[in-house]
Structure 1
Amino acid sequence: MTEVVFKHMHINELYAVLAEQSHVVVDIRDPASFQASHIPNAIHLTNDNISDFIREADLDAPLVVCCYHGNSSQQAAQFLASQDFTDVYSLDGGFVDWQLHYPEHIEKGA
């Protein structure tokens, strides 16, 4: 049995494809942090909505998992890859790095 793995994506790579909306971005940070600011069009993924997300998602669409610093997103990306998503990435540097380099590309609110 082969191990299902995710890939890493640098914030510059995500920025380059963000306008195309070809990648689905999920943010696993806490609700208050997500509400305060997040990557444009990101979906807030929580323990409460993950089952619905998996059931309704396009499993073949590139999926980028974002957390604070790029650590927790690795475990979440591994889990999502194990749920039959075919193209899963963990965002290196997370939202903290994104906010530092692309402060003009942030949404606020849900």
Structure 2
Amino acid sequence: MSEFKHISVQEVADNASAYTIVDIRDPQSFANGHMSEAMHLSNQNLAEFIARAPKTQPVVVVCYHGISSQQAAQMIAGQGFAEVYSMDGGFEAWRSSQAVVTSAS
């Protein structure tokens, strides 16, 4: 079974376009602010993501603080993706050091 790895905020920031970034926080939190490259991933679109996302593209899973993303990353890694990462510190670590995009209400 594939295992996920950990990745730092800085590693993602340095080469964000190389990753498929999925944010698993709740929809309201995502709408209030997210990484510019991130897509929201929920139970509603998970099956479609697994079916359509390129398995060779590295995936970075982002949550609030880097805890629940580990379980999600493990599940995604088990779906045949070559490289899956949990971003250490989560979105809160990103917010404190990087640019954040907010959705218009």
Q: TM-score, normalised by structure 1?
A: 0.91
In structure 1, the partner of 2:103 is 109
Cα distance, 1:109 vs. partner? 1.6
The structure 1 segments of at least 4 consecutive aligned residues displaced by more than 4 Å after TM superposition are: none
Q: What are the ranges of 5 or more consecutive residues in structure 2 without an aligned counterpart? A: none
Q: Percent of aligned positions with the same letter in both sequences?
A: 45
Which SS does the other structure have where 1:58 is aligned? coil
Q: Distance in 2 between matches of 1:5 and 1:32?
A: 30
2:68 to 62, 66, 72: 72
Task: Show the 5 A alignment for 1:10-21.
Answer: 10-18=8-16, 21=17
Q: What are the ranges of 5 or more consecutive residues in structure 1 without an aligned counterpart? A: none
Q: TM-score, normalised by structure 2?
A: 0.96
Task: Show the 5 A alignment for 1:1-80.
Answer: 3-18=1-16, 21-80=17-76
Which SS does the other structure have where 1:107 is aligned? coil
Which SS does the other structure have where 1:29 is aligned? coil
User: What is the root-mean-square deviation of aligned Cα atoms in Å?
Assistant: 1.0
